[in-house]
Amino acid sequence: MGDTDVRVWVDGERVDAKPSVSALDHGVTVGDGVFETCKVVDGQVFALGRHHDRLDRSLHGLGLPSADRDRLAEGIEAVLAEPLDFGRLRYTVTGGIGPLGSDRNDVPMTYVVSAMPVPRAAATTKVVVVPWTRNERSAVAGLKTTSYAENVVALAKAKSEGGTEAIFGNNRDELCEGTGSNIFVVVDGEILTPPLESGALAGITRALVLEWCADAGLPIREQTLPLSVLDTADEVFITSSTRDVQAVHAVGDRTLDAPGPLTLRAAEAFAQASAEGRD
């Protein structure tokens, strides 16, 4: 998949592979920005309203104003002008042109929207627990910011060990999240996932799995969990915008039968509600 597969719009112009963002943009110099990644199916963006709401929460957490949704709609329409059967839509809002430091200028924010086709996720995957932690007391805990360097390092380690996702604990040695996913475990016949107080991002798919599985009568809830639960859990699955509900067949060197029965039921509940157009 090359650069020609990527569509890019910046501040009112479809630019694709052309240089388009200032070197002085605060999102470039200090990572002062937020973003959302959405699934696109048959040209339609999944759960866009929920993603917009979370984008605003992240912006407010950085001390920036709410996004201009009409501006975002213009960019989304531009990058989805050509057919896209299945893919990823990403939109980013930064603090705009800034100084070479952490202060901000009083300037318009920068808007970037991009889209590209991606392969559908495999039925099961391997995850790797990494030695670094999420800081549940961080100033940006739970915000989807463009400061992703620790995720890059963690994911590279996971991939070097045959995984497709890295799993973090937090500073209390509790299970937290992946670099771009939330994690669920099955223990004693219940589906459990860490609460947001763990420092995990409030994933859109995570929230929908909690809601739709409960509607389907599945035993599911949030619970604080030790990181060591991954050594004993009966089933493990991860969720994200493009993975949906993905079973885990290995956590490091530990193998699991996957997908397990409750993971299958969770995936079915999610797929059915999605097909019904629920948001």
- Taking alpha carbons only, the member of 224, 172, 173 closest to residue 196 is 224
Last residue of a domain, one of 67, 86, 117: 117
Residue 1 has pLDDT above 50, yes or no: no
Q: Torsion angle of alpha carbons 91, 92, 96, 97, nearest 10°?
A: -100
Handedness of CA 119, 202, 198, 135 (dihedral sign): positive
Q: Does any domain span residue 2?
A: no
What element of type H or E holds 85? none
User: What's the pLDDT at 51?
Assistant: 98
Q: Does any domain span residue 1?
A: no
Give residue 279's pLDDT band: very low, low, confident or very high (50, 70, 90). low
Residue 238 has pLDDT above 70, yes or no: yes
Distances (CA, A) of 224 to 139, 173, 192, 228: 21, 10, 9, 12
Give residue 3's pLDDT band: very low, low, confident or very high (50, 70, 90). very low
Percent above pLDDT 90 for the chain:
96
What CATH number should be reported for the domain holding residue 184? 3.20.10.10
Q: Does any domain span residue 172?
A: yes
Residue 62 has pLDDT above 70, yes or no: yes
pLDDT digits (tens, 9 = 90+) for 193-205: 999 999 999 999 9
Last residue of a domain, one of 58, 87, 117: 117
Same domain, 96 and 229: no
Higher pLDDT, 232 or 278: 232
Span 31-60, average pLDDT: 97
User: What's the pLDDT at 277?
Assistant: 79
Handedness of CA 224, 227, 229, 235 (dihedral sign): positive
Residue 86 has pLDDT above 60, yes or no: yes
Give residue 151's pLDDT band: very low, low, confident or very high (50, 70, 90). very high
Task: Determine contact, residues 112/92, Cβ cutoff 8 Å.
Answer: yes
pLDDT digits (tens, 9 = 90+) for 239-264: 999 999 999 999 999 999 999 999 99
Residue 275 has pLDDT above 70, yes or no: yes
Q: Does any domain span residue 146?
A: yes
Domain hosting 20: range is 7-117
Cα(238)–Cα(229) distance, integer angstroms? 15
How many folded domains does the chain comprise? Answer: 2
User: What's the pLDDT at 4?
Assistant: 59
pTM over cut 0.85: yes
pLDDT digits (tens, 9 = 90+) for 170-181: 999 999 999 999
Cα(205)–Cα(245) distance, integer angstroms? 8
Same domain, 43 and 96: yes
Q: Torsion angle of alpha carbons 193, 177, 117, 51, nearest 10°?
A: 70
Number of helical (H) and strand (E) elements in the chain, helices listed first: 6, 15
Q: Would you give the end-to-end CA distance of the chain in angstroms?
A: 30
How high is the mean pLDDT of the chain?
Answer: 96
Residue 146 has pLDDT above 70, yes or no: yes
Last residue of a domain, one of 98, 117, 136: 117
Q: Is 187 exposed, middle or buried (0-12, 13-18, 19+ CB in 10 A)?
A: middle
